Amino acid sequence: MLFVLVVGGVVLAALNGGSSSGTLPSGRSVTTHSDSWNLESRYEKDTVSIKTAGFKIQVTPGRVDVDGQRVAYLDTAAKNVAVDVKSGEITVHADGKWVVTVRR
């Protein structure tokens, strides 16, 4: 019975994915939610580098890159950026407004 509970807990944790949040020196907050259990975020200077679900995402002061390609420009004054990764799709919002959706 204990084995079933442990396996069930691991499966639920893996299916829920992960999240990451941080504030850059400029004051910009970047939050990432991913349905992948593998999520790595690095906050360096004014850039966030995110690896999750097979994507490499970079949020810089003025743009969003996915796998080395620019997919959107960001308003440099945006204070809150949200990156959501679900079912192979990335959606980015800045200050609550939709910026871009990238599908694989």
Residue 15 has a pLDDT of 53
Q: What is the pLDDT of residue 11?
A: 44
H or E, element range at 3: helix 2-16
Instruction: Give me the pLDDT at residue 1, please.
Output: 56
pLDDT of residue 104: 81
Residues of the chain with pLDDT under 70: 1-16
**Whole-number pLDDT of residue 16:** 63
Beta strands in the chain (DSSP E): 18-23, 29-34, 39-44, 47-52, 55-59, 63-66, 69-73, 80-86, 89-94, 97-103
What is residue 5's predicted lDDT score, i.e. its pLDDT?
38
Quick: pLDDT tens for 55-69: 999 999 999 999 999
